[in-house]
Structure 1
């Protein structure tokens, strides 16, 4: 009924939270019931922020946290929640930036029951994933874990190999053209598809953190087509990305023009 959107202060959390605010309000959550806060990388003093989150529920409404907190700052955040006597049953946290690698080697007792959303978890039950995890551990050590960015790279590299083979060259433009429509089995079952907007169609999974640092998958969707521009913000709702037919990543459907972004790099 109320939401705290907590993020590290850089572009990904700010963009994510802009979308989430618009989405939540469309779903009937009042603006005053959404608390947004940003902290610097490595932030360690979470007492005031956790107190503010707890205070959201003073009127009896249920509070949830959506976290785009990055890196070591997560350790202090979850510890402060536990120190305040807050469990996942009281105020559940779903994180977009906490996976197996971030949990590896940590005491996860303060995190059990909280959630994370990714396209892949090491705990996925599939023959392909079990073989992949086994091969990774055999090469790198039993204590090493896999995670979502690794699966994304596994898929992307194999798609590139197939596209370069189809193109008969490693020329960038030729390979890019051959990439559209490329399919490759993902490790969660099903098939990842490269779309004309340079994004993949992949399932979305929600996992519950376990004491061993792994995730119990409690929700999984069918493959969701990746969208370059959200419909929940008016400035991007009019944009379309189609590199195959339009040759443009920011095509304005109202003006029928391709928006060009100048770079200083």
Structure 2
């Protein structure tokens, strides 16, 4: 496998927090505000062809440095592991996958710039990457304008309907919809929300407020911390004064680690005031220290402790490989891993339908509709891509962190839950393969 790497930890100077925040807000706002995007034909946009036996170039766009590197570096590593696995088994139609690995440096402008380079210069047929909604919204205008394809392998807030993405992580209705009532039932009705200051936490909390109200809970306070910040003193003072029964957290990256450490250092305890998170998994717990994570909760479709043969094989083989240097697996890693196999299945289907030289990124997206990963491939068990909105049917789970950093599953959905991008916006329309179908019957494409 040929791997091209642009920007190592030693070569790239860390981005200052002020620049990070300025770029995040400017780029994400510009992406959301874009009034219309010209969509060329798939062949015109991509301008390349696949040839049997020649490498299939894909982009791998994650942050290997900066405040988002804690979860994203491991996603880049597991993507390389999955590609090695696929190539060792013969590749796709006799062709190996060639990843072009980019460090986005936790900088929203870098995400946008590198996405343009991957698509327009390197002619990749798809890109795997991004962890935050701010970075996803920074790259989507380019992905859509060039009719390329983004595999987005993590949780997000929904309220989006694009024709150039495939998402393998949970939506809000597969995430906090079970977590909020579970916490209310087991710990009490009084809740305090804390999140990083960007679109995903704020939109996730809109969902959480509705489910909290339905569960009979009470929201005592809601605070947002700048993305990348490590100062939680004022927020913890407000939490101590409010005395909630539990905290609902959408804090991400290095900030998440700082929050848990300062929570305990402030004399607060998981025994009396647990944190219920959508992001604090095995990677974050390992980085902060097991003692800071113990007793807290996470909602996710995957945990390293899942007891099935495929997951046991995945964990053992990955951790013993050259990519398993950080010593754990994680929900975001598993969702990245499965995205590689969704890509493989969709590309094989597109080749069978159209011939290898005629395949485009958009045809891969279309072929991904209904792709199912069985239990022998997916470490979390069977999953499949929704035929209309191209998100994933998943089994939500809730885990409690143990003293050794592992998670004990305390609740699991009895069946797969359908992804609902507009679950709290029923009047917005229905996300279909062609676009957002409005109540009046008209269709809007690429709604972000």
Same fold judged by TM-score > 0.5? yes
2:441 maps to 256
Deviation at 1:224, TM superposition (A): 1.3
SS of the aligned residue for 2:393 comes to strand
Deviation at 1:91, TM superposition (A): 0.8
After superposing on structure 2, the runs of 4+ consecutive aligned residues of structure 1 that deviate more than 3 Å are 26-30, 260-263
Of 162, 166, 185, which residue of structure 1 is paired with 2:345? 162
Judged with a 3 Å threshold, the aligned counterparts in structure 2 of structure 1 residues 19 and 143 are, in CA distance, closer, same or farther, namely closer
Q: Is the 8 A contact 2:260 2:288 kept in 1?
A: no
Over residues 95-140 of structure 1, what are the superposed CA-to-partner deviations in whole Å (9 max), with x where a residue is unaligned?
1121222222432212210011111011111100011111101113
Q: Is the 8 A contact 2:250 2:278 kept in 1?
A: yes
1:86 maps to 268
- Runs (5+) with no aligned partner, structure 2: 1-188
Judged with a 3 Å threshold, the aligned counterparts in structure 2 of structure 1 residues 7 and 133 are, in CA distance, closer, same or farther, namely same
Judged with a 3 Å threshold, the aligned counterparts in structure 2 of structure 1 residues 55 and 105 are, in CA distance, closer, same or farther, namely closer
TM-score using structure 1 length: 0.85
Q: Distance in 1 between matches of 2:224 and 2:379?
A: 34
Q: How does 1:1-265 map to 2 (within 5 A)?
A: 1-30=189-218, 33-57=219-243, 63-140=245-322, 141=324, 143-168=326-351, 169=356, 170-185=359-374, 186-189=378-381, 191-195=382-386, 196-221=388-413, 222-231=415-424, 233=425, 237-243=427-433, 247-248=434-435, 250-252=436-438, 254-260=439-445
Which is bigger in relative contact order (C-alpha 8 A, separation at least 6)? 2
201-210 or 68-77, larger mean C-alpha shift: 68-77
Deviation at 1:10, TM superposition (A): 0.6
SS of the aligned residue for 2:288 comes to coil
Q: Distance in 1 between matches of 2:208 and 2:419?
A: 16
Note the aligned Cα RMSD (angstroms): 2.1
Q: Is the 8 A contact 2:350 2:364 kept in 1?
A: yes
Deviation at 1:56, TM superposition (A): 2.1
SS of the aligned residue for 1:224 comes to coil
Structure with greater proportional strand content:
1
Q: Is the 8 A contact 1:184 1:192 kept in 2?
A: yes
Q: Distance in 1 between matches of 2:204 and 2:212?
A: 12
Q: Distance in 1 between matches of 2:446 and 2:365?
A: 20
Over residues 52-103 of structure 1, what are the superposed CA-to-partner deviations in whole Å (9 max), with x where a residue is unaligned?
122223xxxx522110101222233222322333211211111112122222
Q: Distance in 1 between matches of 2:347 and 2:446?
A: 28
Q: Distance in 2 between matches of 1:79 and 1:162?
A: 42
SS of the aligned residue for 1:123 comes to coil
Q: Is the 8 A contact 1:155 1:192 kept in 2?
A: no
2:77 maps to none
TM-score using structure 2 length: 0.52
111-120 or 81-90, larger mean C-alpha shift: 81-90
Deviation at 1:12, TM superposition (A): 0.6
Judged with a 3 Å threshold, the aligned counterparts in structure 2 of structure 1 residues 213 and 237 are, in CA distance, closer, same or farther, namely farther
Judged with a 3 Å threshold, the aligned counterparts in structure 2 of structure 1 residues 237 and 104 are, in CA distance, closer, same or farther, namely farther
- Runs (5+) with no aligned partner, structure 1: none
Deviation at 1:237, TM superposition (A): 4.1
